[in-house]
Amino acid sequence: MSDFPVEWDDPADLELTWEHDSMHMPFALAPMSIDYVSMIMDGIRYSHEWWDAPFRLPIRYINGYAYMAVRYLVPAPHGPAFDAYAEKHRAFIAESEAYWAETAMPEISSTRLWFMETPVETMSLRALADAWTDAWERSARTWQIHFIAIRGAYQITDDLSDFVESVVPDAPPGAALRLIQGRFGRLHDAEVWLDRLTSMVRTEPTLRTAFDVGAPPTMEQLESMPGEAASRFLGELRAFLDDHGHLGGSFDDLAFPSWIEEPSIVLGDIGRRLTVDGAPTAEERRSTLLAQADEEADRVRALLAERPEDLARFESLLDAGRRVGPLTEIHNYWIDRLTQSQIRAFSIRVGDRLADAGVIDRAEDVFYLRRDEVPGLLRVPVDRRGLVAERRATHERQKAMRPPATVGVPKVVSGEADRFDGARYEATDDGTLRGTGASAGVVRGTARIVLGPQDFAKVTPGDVIVAPSSNPSWVPLFTIAGGVLCNTGGVVCHAAVVAREVGLPAVVGLGDATTRIPDGALVELDGTTGLVRIL
């Protein structure tokens, strides 16, 4: 592959299949983003040791792209070792709520407060060097918590799904997940607040005019508007950003800002909501989701009416699924998005100090330094502008590359996969794409290729979003769309969960939808069968 050269430092790597993690890191990573992803991988390693996993997930950065492989620690067949691994997760289901409440949230809250209170702008550079190390160590700890906290949640969704699929005839993928929908509290809270902000604009003529003229107003324009209505709106918006503003990072890449850093993303979401009349509110959607969940549960109960032992098993799984299952997405809100927002904002603040010291030209140049280089440059500032320029040029070249899905040993395409990553299918002869039906419904709409917040403005009501992947930061965009297609994922991936929570038909795990489907094409998707047609 002359356009994507691959060099191997370890000959043993050639014996593995290395897959590009296009779900979490679809684009080339700048140097500090590589360090951030490596920190995430350290959290995975920590959990694998914690659970005595029978495998490890090594990572390699090839031309700036993150590739992972599976290295087994036990001889084939691997099944028995994986069964024992799952049993440890199953035993943790009962402990998950306590771990989250008593360990995870206190540590997350403490770290959040530390980031808020650390006086980056007034500390001495030497003290800031120590704070930099502390910031990364605290962030690393949240990722350790992440990969402990999620195991019980994903295990119960698997167990519930396995059971329901065994008793419900022809149950489509993800059918069991409807049983626990509508219970992702913090995502719902954010949606309720966005409804309120949109209503304030809709009912106040001066605000509505400001949003109706071209692009949504900036924070500066809103601040200069006279009148009590604008002042109230700004107060509500700032309170929303203080509470939920760490959302916004589209992928696990420090290149993507959060809402608190870029309020224009939220203002754009409000502007798009204003173009939709009569859409259900967040409260109405949640009521519908909960009612559907109860209907699905009653359907399963009816099937098991003459099988008391199976019915008791179902009720036990359902109860645990509804209590613990929502952590599959709540953790992303509190760890993935918050940790990334904190370390990105902190890095930029440190970057300002480095720019003042003549190390770099501007704050964002800090992302072209390596994590371990920063403390030394704070203690003894040295001009690194030339190095930054070289690394930036390399990064720009890498961004233009098209990374292959796999390198090393070729991967066999299979319909078998776990519920998070999903299966992969080849396109049919007639060009029909097939993925995993993640959220039920059939819809036709105009395809809009969305690679991040810079493309959100392209989406109009009823459009079908075509994206590499998504996470809770995309909730506001999903609420106006007609459907969503993702390159990656399975029925419990973040895109699937978010789509179900807003009642949006979705197909995930399509592989190359963002390159195969032309922007502006008319498409039809079936969120049950996973079939997608370009019309």
3-state secondary structure 261-314: CCCHHHHHHHHHHCCCCCCCCHHHHHHHHHHHHHHHHHHHHHHCCCCHHHHHHH
Residue 518 is predicted with a pLDDT of 94
pLDDT, tens digit (0-9, with 9 covering 90-100), for 347-384: 999 999 999 999 999 999 999 999 999 999 999 999 99
**DSSP H helices in 52-124:** 79-99, 105-117
3-state DSSP assignment of residue 45 = helix
d(CA 303, CA 311): 9
d(CA 497, CA 506): 10
Query: How are the residues of the chain apportioned to helix, strand and coil, as percentages rounded to the nearest 5?
Result: 55, 10, 35
Residue 160 is predicted with a pLDDT of 95
- The first and second tokens of residue 333, run together, are 């809100």
Average pLDDT over residues 46-75: 96
Backbone φ and ψ of 437, nearest 5°: -65, 115
d(CA 168, CA 301): 10
Domain 433-534 classified CATH 1.20.1250.30? no
Closest CA to 32 of 247, 339, 347, 262: 347
DSSP for residue 246 = T
Of 78-87, 231-240, 312-321, 431-440, least confident by mean pLDDT is 431-440
Where along the chain do its domains lie? 11-76+404-408, 433-534
d(CA 24, CA 88): 26
Higher pLDDT, 500 or 32: 32
pLDDT, tens digit (0-9, with 9 covering 90-100), for 425-454: 766 667 789 999 988 899 999 999 999 888
Residue 416 is predicted with a pLDDT of 54
pLDDT band at 496; cut points 50, 70, 90? confident
Residue 98: is its pLDDT beyond 70? yes
3-state DSSP assignment of residue 331 = helix
d(CA 28, CA 401): 8
Supply the angle between the helices 125-167 and 31-51 in degrees, to the nearest 10: 50
Residue 494 is predicted with a pLDDT of 82
Please tell me the pTM assigned to this model.
Answer: 0.93
d(CA 265, CA 452): 11
* Element of type H or E holding 207: helix 205-212
The edge-to-edge listing of strands for the beta sheet with 17-20 is 59-62, 65-68, 17-20, 406-408
Q: Is the peptide bond before 11 cis (omega within 30 degrees of 0)?
A: no
38 to 22, 133, 253, 501: CA distances (angstroms): 16, 15, 11, 31
Residue 22: is its pLDDT beyond 70? yes
201 to 194, 195, 233: CA distances (angstroms): 11, 10, 8
Residue 197: is its pLDDT beyond 90? yes
Average pLDDT over residues 275-291: 90
Residue 421: is its pLDDT beyond 90? no
- The first and second tokens of residue 62, run together, are 């090839």
Residue 427 is predicted with a pLDDT of 63
Residue 276 is predicted with a pLDDT of 87
Task: Tell me if 191 sits within 8 A of 303, measured CB to CB.
Answer: no
Residue 172 is predicted with a pLDDT of 78
d(CA 495, CA 420): 10
Residue 414 is predicted with a pLDDT of 52
pLDDT, tens digit (0-9, with 9 covering 90-100), for 126-178: 999 999 999 999 999 999 999 999 999 999 999 999 999 999 988 877 788 88
Q: How confident is the prediction for the chain on average, in pLDDT? A: 93
Residue 267 is predicted with a pLDDT of 94
